[in-house]
């Protein structure tokens, strides 16, 4: 099968992903094989390619996967050949630790990420544990469904962690794949709330898209919004938005950091963190860490009911390096996806 393999880590401009022919994987006990039609492109994939996030050697990235069941391993009985399904970031966990037993398998120390610790979706086929495979609602095309499996699900988890109540104001820092989906969820679940969007200075196209999707205000990170925020979500890989979000939080407000890591390029801004300005009066900071299967099970039907329609930019599989370069530069409108196979939807 064709696959884009991470042959080495380095700047995405060096094209660390290489198109190769690799064996078609065979499903093992309680696994299924999926013939992939679409795989989303995520900033986490970029972190793997550039070496900021450790991945297994010669990994096939990708964890926003849509396709159809192609084969069943021994003991697999949740799906049938031909079923349309999705695979997200959570690939497997130990199932026995205190976190797994409490429904927080995202915190399991043996957590394995799709496309990081196990081969992912930048390929024509994938095998995965059937427990980590989800039916895709008929409301979505394959292209529309792919970004929901990471950008959508992790955004949904971050929103829950803000403890937002209807009528309160929330700020979204960064307006890429995840935030442009989440704003649609917020407008549906919290119709009385105001949403303020903060982007990189000069990203007027992203600000305009935010307004089209219902933002009550859109400006640059560093601007002072019309009102203080009860909750905020930081989707960016940099430190500046953390300081700025804390500055404009209301007393008792909570900032949720929706990122798997932060880059060092602007870490010096933390030197300007002032206790009285940024942290006093019971302001909170909370991070997200992966997602649970329950997050995906809850979010996909909700997204279909709203219905959410992600804005998507398509690339062929062999242009994965270029897609990741545009993600790095913030030049994609909405979510980027790789088209790998033909789909009926």
The pLDDT of residue 345 is: 52
**Is pLDDT of 324 > 90?**
yes
CA distance 146 to 144: 6
The pLDDT of residue 312 is: 92
| Domains of the chain, each with CATH number or no CATH | 2-150+291-339 (3.90.180.10), 153-287 (3.40.50.720)
Indicate the pLDDT class of residue 343, thresholds 50, 70 and 90.
Answer: low
CA distance 53 to 137: 32
Indicate the pLDDT class of residue 120, thresholds 50, 70 and 90.
Answer: very high
What tens digit of pLDDT does each residue of 238-293 get?
Answer: 999 999 999 999 999 999 999 888 888 899 999 989 999 999 999 999 999 989 99
Lowest mean pLDDT among 113-127, 182-196, 276-290, 330-344: 330-344
What tens digit of pLDDT does each residue of 15-45 get?
Answer: 999 999 999 999 999 999 999 999 999 999 9
Indicate the pLDDT class of residue 330, thresholds 50, 70 and 90.
Answer: confident
What tens digit of pLDDT does each residue of 39-80 get?
Answer: 999 999 999 999 999 999 999 999 999 999 999 999 999 999
Q: What percent of the chain stands above pLDDT 90?
A: 90
**Is pLDDT of 333 > 80?**
no
Mean pLDDT of 210-225: 97
Mean pLDDT of 82-101: 97
CA distance 181 to 238: 21
pTM equals: 0.89
The SS3 assignment for 313 reads: strand
* Residue 274: count of CB within 10 angstroms of its CB: 11
What tens digit of pLDDT does each residue of 131-167 get?
Answer: 999 999 999 999 999 999 998 999 999 999 999 999 9
Contact 63, 42 (CB under 8 A): yes
**What string of H, E and C letters represents the secondary structure of 35-56?**
EEEEEEECHHHHHHHCCCCCCC
The SS3 assignment for 233 reads: strand
H or E element: which one contains 243?
Answer: helix 240-247
């Amino acid at each position: 099968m064709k696959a884009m393999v991470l042959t080495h880590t380095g700047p995405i401009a060096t094209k660390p992903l290489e198109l190769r022919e690799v064996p078609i994987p065979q499903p093992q006990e309680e696994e299924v094989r999926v013939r992939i039609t679409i795989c989303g492109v995520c900033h986490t994939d970029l972190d793997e390619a550039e070496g900021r996030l450790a991945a297994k050697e010669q990994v096939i990235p990708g964890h926003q996967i849509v396709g159809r069941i192609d084969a069943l391993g021994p003991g697999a009985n949740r799906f049938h050949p031909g079923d349309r399904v999705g695979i997200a970031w959570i690939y497997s966990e130990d199932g026995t630790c205190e976190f797994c037993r409490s429904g927080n398998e995202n915190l399991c120390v043996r957590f394995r990420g799709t496309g990081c610790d196990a081969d992912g979706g930048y390929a024509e086929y994938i095998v995965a544990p059937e427990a980590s495979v989800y039916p895709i609602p008929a409301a979505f095309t394959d292209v529309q469904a792919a970004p929901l499996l990471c950008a959508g699900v992790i955004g949904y988890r971050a929103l829950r962690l803000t403890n937002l109540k209807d009528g309160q104001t929330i700020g979204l820092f960064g307006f890429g794949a995840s935030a442009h989906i989440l704003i649609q969820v917020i407008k549906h679940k919290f119709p009385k709330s105001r949403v303020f969007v903060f982007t990189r200075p000069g990203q007027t196209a992203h600000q305009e898209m935010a307004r089209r999707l219902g933002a009550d205000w859109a400006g640059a990170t560093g601007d002072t919004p019309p009102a203080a925020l009860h909750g905020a979500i930081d989707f960016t890989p940099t430190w500046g938005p953390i300081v700025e979000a804390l500055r404009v939080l209301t007393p008792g407000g909570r900032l949720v950091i929706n990122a798997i890591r932060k880059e060092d390029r602007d870490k010096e801004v933390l030197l300007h963190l002032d206790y009285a300005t940024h942290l006093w009066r019971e302001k909170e900071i909370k991070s997200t860490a992966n997602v649970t299967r329950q997050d995906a099970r809850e979010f996909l039907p909700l997204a279909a009911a709203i219905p959410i329609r992600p804005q998507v930019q398509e690339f062929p599989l062999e242009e994965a390096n270029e897609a990741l370069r545009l993600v790095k530069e913030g030049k994609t409108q909405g979510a980027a996806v790789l088209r790998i196979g033909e789909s009926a939807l």
